């Protein structure tokens, strides 16, 4: 299942939005928001409970369950970018998070692409254990994945890079991701230089320092918000000796 940029505002806005969808997703405040302080932040509160998640509702395969939820997130007008996920890594014992885009999901796991010289890539080379979080707040849902990241094949990276828009290809080639930058003008000059080298309509080769990672899951948790903070949390887990069989465990909220 390849995840592409297929979102258009017109397509989503073509669906009717119920008053609950339009207004129920906004955090309620018990005080005015004249200033941001401890009191006003603590007053931010949303009552969950639009839908529950029963054990009987789950697919035996967490990848299939994820695809179901992803499809529903794509169709939800309030979710702007359903394939956006928070990737967390460890560098020198310090956790670091950033948002990346899911570009494939398969029986093997979850795939994203990035610069292999970036901070995230260096962190993965040192500690390949990572977590992924899909925060579908308007649906009162989260999916939390823990697994091990590994590079995908050069062919898979080539194929995806070739499918990207020309501007994205040039940007990926021009940017020394995560390195310090003297100014915005330096970056734009590098972009212009690279664009001149590979004019629009020509083939842009994938840089060796750019490619994909596959996150092989060890646990996948589905979180559904419920009333009185009695949220539903159902986690699929499997041991090293059970690479294909998943067990579902319900957790306290």
Residues annotated catalytic, as ranges: 229
Q: What's the full length of the chain, in residues?
A: 253
Contact 84, 73 (CB under 8 A): no
Long-range (24+ apart) CB contacts under 8 A made by 80-84 are 80/7, 81/7, 82/7, 82/134, 82/136, 83/3, 84/134
CA dihedral (49, 50, 56, 62) positive or negative: negative
Which residue from 12, 192, 3 is spatially nearest to 85, judged by alpha carbons? Answer: 3
Which residue from 135, 116, 134, 122 is spatially nearest to 96, judged by alpha carbons? Answer: 122
């Amino acid at each position: 299942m390849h995840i592409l940029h297929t979102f258009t505002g017109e397509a989503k806005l073509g669906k009717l939005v119920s008053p609950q969808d339009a207004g129920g997703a906004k955090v309620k405040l018990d005080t005015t928001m004249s200033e941001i302080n401890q009191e006003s932040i603590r007053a931010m509160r949303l009552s969950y409970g639009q839908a529950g998640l029963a054990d009987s509702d789950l697919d035996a395969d967490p990848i299939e369950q994820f695809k179901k939820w992803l499809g529903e997130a794509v169709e939800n007008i309030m979710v702007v970018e359903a394939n956006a996920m928070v990737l967390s890594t460890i560098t020198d014992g310090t956790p670091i998070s950033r948002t990346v885009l899911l570009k494939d999901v398969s029986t093997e796991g979850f795939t994203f692409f990035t610069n292999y010289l970036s901070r995230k890539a260096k962190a993965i080379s040192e500690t390949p254990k990572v977590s992924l979080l899909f925060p579908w707040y308007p649906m009162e849902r989260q999916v939390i994945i823990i697994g091990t990241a590994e590079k995908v094949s050069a062919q898979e990276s080539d194929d995806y890079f070739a499918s990207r828009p020309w501007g994205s290809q040039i940007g990926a080639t021009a940017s020394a991701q995560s390195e310090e930058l003297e100014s915005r003008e330096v970056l734009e000059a590098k972009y212009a230089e690279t664009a001149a080298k590979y004019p629009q309509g020509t083939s842009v080769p994938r840089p060796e320092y750019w490619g994909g990672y596959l996150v092989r899951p060890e646990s996948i948790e589905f979180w559904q918000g419920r009333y009185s903070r009695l949220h539903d949390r159902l986690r699929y887990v499997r041991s090293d000796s059970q690479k294909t069989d998943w067990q579902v465990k319900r957790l306290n909220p």
